[in-house]
A = this chain, B = another copy of it.
Amino acid sequence: MAESPGLRERKKLRTRRALIEAALGLFVEKGYEETTLAEIAAAVDISPRTFFSYFATKEDVIFFDSQARLDRALAMLAERRPGETVAELMLRVVENSLDWAAAPDDEAMGLTAARVHLIMSVPALQARTLHVLVNSQRRLAEALHRAHPEELDLIEAFALVGALLGAPTITAMALLDRGDPPDQVWAAARQALDIAVQGLRWVGSPYRP
């Protein structure tokens, strides 16, 4: 057992990849809603019915790697460095995940700029993004609490993760949505993260009408 993957799995991987690329290409070319499942299937030369043995839904072809991304973040949680506070650990995790919008087109597997743009501009995909995001935040918080239960109770973990990720996330989404260039977006998200870390008491001064 554990042989090198047979023809079956190699083929399946290839088809999967082809589907992702074909779909993305079509989405970019003619829009997400305007691209039909049948077209995607045709582009890869499989029957429309077979599409659903690769992806459960049309959306999934866009979000194929969200699980892997979460796994990577969860793995980072296990590598707390000596002398590091929990907050610093989470900060590292969040920074690492900020590649989200920052990574330049990564032929291999990354979020291409085209994908980011799609995700930000199609309402159905926006909603799904947020769903993924919040699920991830939840899992992160739970893992963080489990890993260091003496330092953080569950609510504190949620608050930590929610504030730390909420600030850069909404910043990034808003700026991406308005079409700001990715590097500016990334810088703004970093800045938002810093502000969240520092706490909010500093913001502003008493109102003198």
CA distance A141 to B137 in the complex (A): 22
**How many A residues, CB 8 Å from partner?**
62
Interface pick from A47-55, A105-113, A123-131: A123-131
CA distance A174 to B192 in the complex (A): 23
Q: Determine the main DSSP class of A at the interface with B.
A: helix
Partner among B83, B165, B166, B201 whose Cβ is within 8 Å of the Cβ of A206:
B83
Chain B positions within 8 Å of A205 at CB level: 85, 151
CA distance A104 to B118 in the complex (A): 39
A26 within 8 A of B: no
Q: Which of A80, A196, A209 has the most CB of B within 10 A?
A: A196
- The answer to whether A163 touches B158, judged by C-beta atoms less than 8 angstroms apart, is no
CA distance A170 to B80 in the complex (A): 24
Chain B positions within 8 Å of A164 at CB level: 163, 200
A171 within 8 A of B: yes
- The answer to whether B171 touches A159, judged by C-beta atoms less than 8 angstroms apart, is yes
A94 to chain B, nearest CB (A): 11
CA distance A170 to B134 in the complex (A): 7
A43 within 8 A of B: no
- The answer to whether A195 touches B159, judged by C-beta atoms less than 8 angstroms apart, is yes
CA distance A85 to B206 in the complex (A): 5
Chain B positions within 8 Å of A177 at CB level: 138
10 contacts between A and B (CB under 8 A): A82-B206, A83-B208, A85-B203, A85-B205, A87-B200, A123-B131, A160-B167, A162-B170, A196-B199, A199-B200
- Chain A to chain B: the 6 pairs with minimum beta-carbon distance, closest first: A166-B166, A199-B199, A130-B130, A86-B204, A159-B192, A159-B195
